[in-house]
Structure 1
């Protein structure tokens, strides 16, 4: 049950108190699922009340007034055993998918919760139910059917209602909303191809064709003329978008100067784009032959007209001279073309342009155009465009044509580069000068032309993306008047900064048995540039056999690694500028360690979700501070389910850290890149971090959340991919030496055999017989020629007693090899936090100083130096720590890797889905030895505790 269960009332004897009191509560036992609001209402909040966990609660309510006076009362809660239906913790939720999402895509996993611990069975109801969605009532997964029928235009969203039942009660319904996002589709031009005709004497700007565009997504279309054939017609046509944003008008410009005798057809290619896709169409414009019209000699012309000019004044500055090859002056008719300003002018028969009525500068337009037409006998017409400027007194300040002005420059543009031209108008027609106020270090303006120029290059990295200055316009009237406007200049980025790798040297470790494709760690870089110039990708300086790097800097395993090998790779970053810039080289050192020798499991008393990035950093800093000069690393983060022994109820899914440690940080430096990396043996780590046989940490680790420390491989370890004879340099050398010795022994035996045969003269024929005969002849000759003092000595019979092998000290063979006595307590090498060195040259193969045996397939087996034997532990199903034995056997869980810092990844330890970051866990075959010896824990001093800090990123 959730919601309000009790309303607390409080009375303040101070009748004048107007500020509401504040409420607070505490529970016994602490951490009860209760909340009190500002009105004193006590509510039950998730996970709610559970009779089995806590049948009784005591709530202490505290009320405090504005004066600081307070009172407390107790409320006793008796919880009745009542079944409550399951609730869904992670709904309502919303997910956006596109209408082209692939089938079988997982959309959501429902998370039901039953406060009584009953099994929940969930069902879902989609609306609309068109078969696009499916639900698994066992795994609670919601996914798309294959294939789905998603169409944003038909169904823009789905509403899914999920209800769960525990067999007795149904919980409240929860809602999951799926929004279907449309996918852009290409536009179309419906009215093309087409053909239109235009007379060759067309002179006015006019539309000649309507382009009918269509976009199913109703996107705005941007039309343009891609090409005109022949190219001389490119400036004769224009296209403008229509008001409905999906259509356009194609027209001819004013005075296109068509000539039928020269070109009688133009082919226009028109494009329409919605920003992503482009449609094209072809429009043919046929030019028709017409009679030649009259033409004004001077066109256009400019007229400066003083305000209040009287009627019938001849404006002789305008010349109405015309040429017409077909008609004489008597057949030409002049007129002022109708316009808003045409009532102020007229044309006489002379012909002259005259004032029809005076104009007022304050009420009438000051700058405008009028047109005078001339028509011949065939109704052919030409138009004279006259720009009219009305002159006035200085009673108006200058006014800029734009406010603000917007310009764009590149940060590489040098001083003197023209940015834009500002322009101000003065209603009185006064001259204007321009200036920047206050004076700018970067921008200047020409006082006459208004051209805005750079004083020096602009650095976008220091000035930002835009600068703003104020431009002033001053006229030459009496008194002078001013106007102002702003200039906003956008600084475009230039790729003038190379990427910078965050570190010059990266120092990582990884299990030698990591699968191909295992993610190890990533490199990072920065770039001061903006946009594409600031985007960069990573690459290796040279391709590497064992490692690869992707564009975002993730380094992964490309081939099977060799145990105890040091690898060096070199990486760099290159940005996306043109031309691109490349960073300096960073060195990455990767050491492949044998996990069976160095890894330990550290069990924490906190859930995996609480082991955040910040807490992980604090945890490692604490261990490094307690055990200098060791450098602790986390190989993987797993989880294990912790249950009570009585009720078998799940209490938590606590974190288990798979860790190792380096002897020191000497190799964490580029200068020491060639030095060997020394790991701390797993048994040494366990002995240093524990104090008793059960693996309980010593008091010095109090406050670190550690509850148990044990070896990751405490018993017989299965190693399936380390062949000492083939996978290591030493193994190859020894194998080569043995083969050479065998070959020499074979040759010696062959020589002795041939010599014996020659002496006896038996058993040979052919070439061998002749060869031995020659050898015997030479031997006989030598014997005959020897001095007479020679005497053949009698061959001594072999002394059988001397040749008998002394087997008194040979131990009886056992299953694991010859027995050797266990070392005494004072002979076991116990080295506190890095005092001793472990020889990794024999990792994955028999150590010369250790007992040896061969398995069924003659594969090498390593029996490690004995770790500290302890009694069996009763907590968390742990087995006794015994001497690990390496064998070869298949079956390794493939790793899944992610994360930064210490190659940490979270896996679930409760089942067979253990997941490691940068490594994979081998199957473990458990063997036990009867011998047990206890090592004294290594003494350590230091102040326990965490490094302070607030976790900000979850693992």
Structure 2
């Protein structure tokens, strides 16, 4: 470093002395320069550094900048020291380093002096800002059954504090604080909400998760600050289960007298997929000959659609296939319906009145008439009996034959017997009338024809 000098002229008696005056020197910063640090929230008028100088002539040393030193200023302390103080607000995020290279140690009122070594002032950050999530509320919909490590949401956490080089910016850590505590379905990996290995199942109650997520800033200089956000995760059900019938085959018996529109069966399938998936829909897909049955689409209840007639219907056994669908998956069941006979027909007799004439000498056990009756009810057994008209002389056989059981002679006159015959199938009855007329035999005497 060059040292400048100037001459002083002194007159002592007759002698003239010329002396070289010494220039001020910088003692601090030291020759290699110095670095100091100051927090960005430092108080105004705080001292950042103390410049020190010396002068062999013991003149007061001051420090003169030939550059802008804002936001700092010099404030004299003693003869050869000055405080380098703060007079404006620092902001690490705006500027984090100041280097001063043109500050001189000089005398008061003079600009000639020695250039001081450089002074570097590094501004250190303080934790001013709370981490912020964008957005602060996030609503997402995801299907149930996602595999592990599936990304559900990407988190955007920022922090107004600019961090030193090499330090993470924004949130250094993000955690799920609440909303998924028992068997966690979610975790945070690389600032993303992802699924865990715990299955998300809508049918067991995983419908909505409200997660409170907390971000912790990356500051290491001050107490860490946190910010939070809410994430509402709605689980959408997925149709993964087929409708299920209690049995794949059902058997019922249905009397032919069943009224039309009467409920005859309820298939009632179930589906492990809980709503709000579409409700099960039922329909008959096979085996419904003659359009005999119908089914309620929403309940699975099966009804009789037309009158049945055991005696005339072509089919007495139906294999009705019922299909249940949940709009994607279907299942089927077969209802075996057997139509059973019911005594619903009156015995029919032809004719309902007979008139016969017989010899009063007709022998006992002789058939004098036959009652012809039929019943359309399959398997019906008809019962015949004479209810009035002289049951002592006649009987009726199980097949409807009227036979003589006693002597018919009734004095010297002919007789007529009016028989009332009842025919029953056990429930319904019919009546046939039979008139039995008796006549005397013609007796011929032997006589001689005259010559």
TM range (shorter): 0.3 to 0.5
* Larger CA Rg, structure 1 vs 2: 2
Structure holding more helix per residue: 1
What TM-score do the two structures reach when normalised by structure 1? 0.20
Between 1 and 2, higher relative CO (CA 8 Å, sep ≥ 6) is seen in: 2
What TM-score do the two structures reach when normalised by structure 2? 0.41
